[in-house]
Amino acid sequence: MARHVRKVTTVLLMIGIMCVLVLFEMDTTDKQLWPSFLLQDLRPCACNRCVTEDDDQWFTERFNTSLNPFLTQDNTLSENDFSWWKKLQQVNTNFLSYRMAEMKVFEIFPEQESFMDSRPDRCRTCAVVGNSVNLLGSHYGPLIDFHDVVIRFNTARTVGYEGDVGNKTTLHMMYPESAVDLDDNTHLMLFPFKTLDLQWLVSAFTTKSVTRTYTRVKSTIKANQGLVKVLHPGFIKYVHEIWLEEKGKYPSTGFLGVVLAMHICDEVNVFGFGADKDGNWRHYWEELRNKHLGTGPHGGGQEYKLILHLAERQKLNFYRGR
């Protein structure tokens, strides 16, 4: 009897192994036939739908899974990418000066949470909150604050607008000319246009000696020094060339945040992008004075179309607002 049970067990085990091998030989289009326990292990995250599920050729041709969006000691700027980056503002600087500024950043700001820890059992949600006037009256605030990571930009305000925009901020992307004070739990994330921006960042937490770039800037800033991050200049090049196909002079801070979110989160929800119903691009806290206000050097129309296209392909969810 025991020998018979062992034989049956061995046969069942062999059948199970053969089934698994057959499943792994299947084309990805047959995944609906896979057992749920195998699919769970193979999926890149635990969300209902993950950004990086590679079932979309258009997306995978553009999305670089190996790219680290952050500037770190192990992920420095190459001289080739520097040559592209320094043209953003036509600043006369050299690679050596940049490297010295970069090294100073690494010296002053400790490396901490990378946000690059994706795994099959994780479902990290991102809310990318733009500054469009379309947020007014949206009542999105509680939904935005429900996300694991909330990304805001430049001089974005929350006080007085909590019902529509929320009050939680995880990453606040800015450049020196748009710098604002932050609370102790928010990551200051510098969007650098030029070497002087890195020098300003260091100065704002140390000597406070940098007070001008192409205009007057804050000499110091209230923020948690242990939570400072710098967007990799090469990431800006990647977004401009690959995603925007070089439309506009360089990407807007907001669109950089959208692509960043797709790299650090498993599910991405986008709020507060686009012009109002009359075609005006303005911030939700400002009155409209210039009815011909556009998107400056950015390809705002192209960025908006791309967000809509990503939503159509179910790589993000877009909340239009009013």
Question: What are 153's strand-pairing partners?
Answer: 173
Which stretches within the chain are classed as H helix?
2-25, 36-42, 57-60, 79-85, 95-108, 141-145, 162-165, 195-205, 233-238, 253-264, 300-312
Contact predicate 268/258, CB 8 Å: yes
Contact predicate 227/130, CB 8 Å: no
Q: Is 250 a catalytic residue?
A: yes
Query: Vertex 115, ends 204 and 237: CA angle to 5°?
Result: 70
Contact predicate 97/240, CB 8 Å: no
Alpha carbon distance 101, 71 (integer Å):
12
Catalytic residue among 238, 263, 298, 304: 298
Catalytic residue among 140, 175, 238, 250: 250
Catalytic site positions: 250, 298
